C-alpha cells in the first residue's frame, strides 16, 4: 500500500518516511475515517481540518496520489461540516506556492509535536484560497452578465438565457451540448454557435472532425 516517502520537490530532501506495514496503515486509516466522519472534538472544523490533513498525509497510504486524495478529502470535510456548498475551494495552489513552509511545519509536528505554526499555515491557506475563489467567481459572474447584454444587443435572434449560461458551464461548447441543453436540432444549434462566434463571444477551433467553440473571456479568467 505504501512504500513511498514524502520529499521536498525543490531540494529532493526526504521530509518524512511513512509507515510501511499494512496492518498499521489500515488501523490508522480506520481511526482517520472515524474522526473524519464524526467531529468528536470541541475544535472549530477548520482546525480539525488541519489536523485531519496532517493525519492523512502522515499515514500516506497509497503508492501514488496521496496529495490529490488529501486535497479532495479537505473539500469533502468542508462540505460535510457546512462550510462549503459546492466543491470549488482548492488549496493546491497555496500549498504549491508555499511548499517549503508546508514541509517545514509538517516536519515540525512530526519531530517536536508543535502544532501552532502548521495549523496557522493551514488556516491561512483556507483564507487566501477562499478570497481568491470568491474573486474569481465574481469575475465569471460579471462576464456572464456582460455576455448576456452583448448577445441581446448584437445577436437578439439567437439570444436565450439558457444558451449563454451553457457557455459558462465549461470553457468550450459543442453542437451536441447545445442540442442537449436547449432541445433543438443540430442545424439550429450550429447556427446559434456560429452567430455567437460572429459577434466575438466565441472562437471556433477545429479538433479532429469537430469544431469546438471556445469562450475566450472565460478561459482568460480561469488562466489568471
| Mean pLDDT of all residues in 160-185 | 95
Distance (Å, rounded) from C-alpha 31 to C-alpha 24?
11
Predicted confidence band of residue 76 (pLDDT cuts 50, 70, 90): very high
Distance (Å, rounded) from C-alpha 67 to C-alpha 135?
25
Distance (Å, rounded) from C-alpha 181 to C-alpha 127?
36
Q: How many CB atoms lie within 10 A of CB 50?
A: 24
What is the per-residue pLDDT across 117-168, written as a single tens digit (0 to 9) for each? 999 999 999 999 999 999 999 999 999 999 999 999 999 999 999 999 999 9
Same fold across 6-133 and 155-223: no
Which cell numbers in the block locate residue 137? 467567481
Distance (Å, rounded) from C-alpha 118 to C-alpha 124?
10
In the chain, where are the structural domains located?
6-133, 155-223
Strand (E) positions, 24-165? none
**Residues for the chain: how many in total?**
224
**pLDDT for residue 208:** 85
| Mean pLDDT of all residues in 71-100 | 89
**pTM > 0.75:** yes
Mark residue 145 as left, alpha or beta (left: phi above 0; alpha: psi -120 to 50; beta: remaining). alpha
| Mean pLDDT of all residues in 12-35 | 78
Predicted confidence band of residue 18 (pLDDT cuts 50, 70, 90): low
Domain 6-133: give its CATH architecture: Orthogonal Bundle (1.10)
State which fold the 155-223 domain adopts: Arc Repressor Mutant, subunit A (1.10.10)
**pLDDT for residue 2:** 45
| Mean pLDDT of all residues in 104-120 | 93
**Residues near 212 by beta carbon (within 8 Å), at least 6 away in sequence:** 172, 173, 174, 204, 205, 206
| Mean pLDDT of all residues in 20-26 | 80
Amino acid at each position: 500500500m505504501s512504500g513511498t516517502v514524502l520529499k521536498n520537490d525543490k531540494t529532493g530532501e526526504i521530509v518524512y518516511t511513512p509507515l510501511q506495514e499494512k496492518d498499521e496503515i489500515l488501523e490508522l486509516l480506520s481511526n482517520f475515517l472515524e474522526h473524519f466522519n464524526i467531529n468528536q472534538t470541541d475544535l472549530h472544523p477548520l482546525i480539525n481540518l488541519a489536523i485531519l490533513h496532517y493525519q492523512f498525509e502522515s499515514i500516506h497510504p497509497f503508492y501514488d496520489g496521496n496529495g490529490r486524495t488529501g486535497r479532495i478529502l479537505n473539500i469533502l470535510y468542508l462540505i460535510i461540516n457546512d462550510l462549503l456548498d459546492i466543491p470549488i475551494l482548492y488549496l493546491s495552489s497555496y500549498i504549491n506556492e508555499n511548499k517549503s513552509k508546508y514541509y517545514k511545519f509538517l516536519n515540525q509536528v512530526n519531530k517536536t509535536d508543535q502544532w501552532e505554526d502548521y495549523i496557522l499555515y493551514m488556516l491561512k491557506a483556507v483564507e487566501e484560497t477562499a478570497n481568491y475563489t470568491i474573486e474569481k467567481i465574481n469575475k465569471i459572474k460579471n462576464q456572464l452578465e456582460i455576455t448576456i447584454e452583448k448577445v441581446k444587443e448584437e445577436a437578439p435572434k439567437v439570444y436565450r438565457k439558457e444558451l449563454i449560461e451553457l457557455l459558462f458551464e465549461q470553457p468550450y461548447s459543442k453542437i451536441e451540448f447545445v442540442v442537449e441543453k436547449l432541445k433543438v436540432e443540430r442545424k439550429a444549434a450550429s447556427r446559434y454557435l456560429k452567430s455567437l462566434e460572429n459577434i466575438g463571444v466565441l472562437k471556433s477551433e477545429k479538433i479532429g472532425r469537430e469544431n469546438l467553440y471556445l469562450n475566450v473571456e472565460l478561459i482568460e479568467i480561469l488562466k489568471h
